[in-house]
Amino acid sequence: MTFAWWHVLVALIPMLPTFWSIVHIWGHRFANPTQRALWLVLVVFLPVIGGLIYIVAGRRKAGAPL
């Protein structure tokens, strides 16, 4: 079995929402600091699903960029 470049893409594409969510959470203000921590815990411990949930539901709760 040989290594191909598309194996890396197949592994990374589902993780893109997670990476984007972490960067977005870290760079924006939230009304409650606990809210930021809870979103980060959700995104980190449920990688693909947590990132998608944040994009759909949590992005609107984020305030202005830091």
Q: What is the pLDDT of residues 19-47, one digit of tens each?
A: 999 999 999 999 888 999 999 999 999 99
Give the number of other CB atoms < 10 A from CB of residue 53. Answer: 16
Q: How is the chain split into domains, by residue range?
A: 11-61
Terminal-residue alpha carbon distance, the chain: 47
CA distance 23 to 64: 14
pLDDT of residue 64: 86
CB 52 within 8 A of CB 17: yes
Percentage of the chain modeled with pLDDT above 70: 98
